[in-house]
Amino acid sequence: MSEIMWDKNKVHSAVEAQKVFFSSGKTLDVSWRIEQLRRLKDAISSHEAQMVRALNEDLGRHPTEGYLCDIGPIIMEINEAIRGLRKWSRPEVHLSGFLCFPSMITKVHKMPYGTTLIISPFNFPFYLSLGVLVAAMAGGNTAVIKASSKSKNCTRVLHEIISDTFPPEYITVISGGHDVADMCLNERFDKIFYTGSPNVAKHVMEQASVNLTPLALELGGETGNWCIIRKDADLDDAARKIAFFKICNSGQICININQVAVAEEVAGEFVEKLKAAVIKQIGEHPHDNPEYPRLITEAAYKKCASEADEYRDRIVFGGEGSEASLKYDTTIIYPVGINEPIVNHELFCPIIPVVPFKDAEIDDVLEVIASREHGLALYIFTGNVKWADKVMRTQQYGGGCINEVCIHMMVKGVPFNGTGHSGMGAYHGVWGFREFTHPQTVLMGSPRFNLPLREHPYSGLKSKYKDKMVRLFER
C-alpha cells in the first residue's frame, strides 16, 4: 500500500469528512459501537504477525515482549469496553430535589465529543494509539490518529489495520513529522489526546487553547519517576523486578524508573544484586543479545551514550553499546547525588542512576521528590507496607506500586493518568470512556403543579414564606 503524502488540504479534508460522518448520528448507537470494537479486535488478531514483525524492525522487540506490552493490552482494553459499554453509556437518573418540584427526575447523558485527534508516540506504537482509540470509539467519537514518524514500520502496519477495517470518515491514520502534526493541530477538533513529552505537550496545549479544545495529556514527567528502596526491603525481589523493567523496551517507557534511591545501609548489596539480575535476564553484555531491544533512533542512542560518558568514572555495570544496532547496555551508575543533573530530567533509556541515602533520612528524600515536577509513577520497596501506603497516599504522582513495578497499569477498572508535568486526564476501561465523553445534565420538567417559590415578587405577604421554604430546600 503506497504511503499518503499528507499536506494541509488533505488533512483538512480528512477532518471535515469525519465531522460530516459524526453529524449523521451513526456513532451514537451503542450496539454499533460494540460492533466496531469487535471489528477492531478481529483486525488486530489477523494482523498480529505484521505487528510483531514491525515492532522488531523499529524497536528490536522480541515477539513475546511485543505481545506482552503492545498487542495483548489492546485486546484487554477492547474486551473490557465490549463488556462494559452498555452500562457505562446508560444515562444516570437522579432525583431533582424538592426545590425543583414538580420536576423530580434529572438525567445525565454521556455524549461523545465528536471528531477527536489522537497523537501517539513511538515507544508503544500500537498500544498508545489503538488503546486510546478504543476509548474514543467506546465514547462514540470519530478519530484521526497522528502516528509517530520514528516507528515507521509500525505506523505502516497501523495504517493497514485501520484502512482495511474502517472507512476514513470514521477512523483514519495520518503519518508524518512535526509539520504534519501541526497541520492536525491547526484543525478544529472536538477533543485531543496526546501522549509524549512535556515540552511538546506545552505546544499541543497552546494550539488547543486557540479553539478551547478539551484535551488529555499523558506525559513522562519532567524530572522522572522515582523508585525508593528502604533498608528493610527484599533486595533480591527489588533487583529482579527493576532489572526486568529497565531491560523492557530498552528503558523507553513513560512509567519506567528514572532513578533508584536506595538506603545506603544496603546500597552496595543492592547494586551487586541488580547486576546479577541483569546478567541473568539478558546477559553481561546486553547489546550482544538478540532479545535486547534497541533505541529508536541514532540521535536517541548518541544521547544515551553521551549521558553515560559524563558519569563514566561511576559506571559499575554496562556503559557499552553498538551504534550500528542502536543497542546500549543496561547501565548502572553509582553513587549519584540526589541533586546531580542526571536525576533532574527524564532519561528514557537504559541508564539506572542509583542515589544512596541514610534510611533514617527518608523524609528528606521524599521532600526533595515532592519539590520537583510530579512523576508519572512512583515505586517503593520496603517491608513496612503500612509506611509505604501512607507515602503513596500523600505524594503527588500518576500511579505506582508497592513492592512491584509497572503492572498497576494492567489492572482492569482503574485509571492510567498523570498529574502536573506528567499529564492530565485519564483512560483505560470506564475511565477512558469518561475521558472521551462529556456529561449532559437534563432535567425533566413538568407544566403542572408548579409552585411560585422561585418567582418574583420576593417582598410582601409571601416573602417570609418564600424565604423559609428556600432555606429549607437549599440545604
Alpha-carbon gap, residue 258 to 377, rounded angstroms: 10
Q: Where are the domains of the chain?
A: 8-221+426-438, 225-372+375-417
Q: Please provide the size of the chain in residues.
A: 475
**pTM for the predicted model, two decimal places:** 0.96
Alpha-carbon gap, residue 216 to 137, rounded angstroms: 16
Q: Are strands 105-112 and 437-444 parallel, antiparallel or unpaired?
A: antiparallel
> Which of 77, 187, 218, 307 is the catalytic position?
218
Q: What is the pLDDT along the chain (475 residues), one digit of tens a residue?
A: 456 889 999 999 999 999 999 999 999 999 999 999 999 999 999 999 999 999 999 999 999 999 999 999 999 999 999 999 999 999 999 999 888 889 999 999 999 999 999 999 999 999 999 999 999 999 999 999 999 999 999 999 999 999 999 999 999 999 999 999 999 999 999 999 999 999 999 999 999 999 999 999 999 888 889 999 999 999 999 999 999 999 999 999 999 999 999 999 999 999 999 999 999 999 999 999 999 999 999 999 999 999 999 999 999 999 999 999 999 999 999 999 999 999 999 999 999 999 999 999 999 999 999 999 999 999 999 999 999 999 999 999 999 999 999 999 999 999 999 999 999 999 999 999 999 999 999 999 988 888 777 888 888 776 777 788 888 877 7
pLDDT at 1 (0 to 100): 46
Is 218 among the catalytic positions? yes
Alpha-carbon gap, residue 270 to 172, rounded angstroms: 48
* 334-339: Cβ within 8 A, 24+ apart: 334/267, 334/271, 335/267, 336/259, 336/311, 338/261, 338/365, 338/368, 339/368
Give the residue among 339, 336, 340, 341 at the shortest CA–CA distance from 353. Answer: 336
Give CATH for domain 8-221+426-438.
3.40.605.10
Alpha-carbon gap, residue 413 to 266, rounded angstroms: 37
Overall fold of domain 225-372+375-417:
Aldehyde Dehydrogenase; Chain A, domain 2 (3.40.309)
> Which of 254, 304, 401, 406 is the catalytic position?
254
Is 455 among the catalytic positions? no
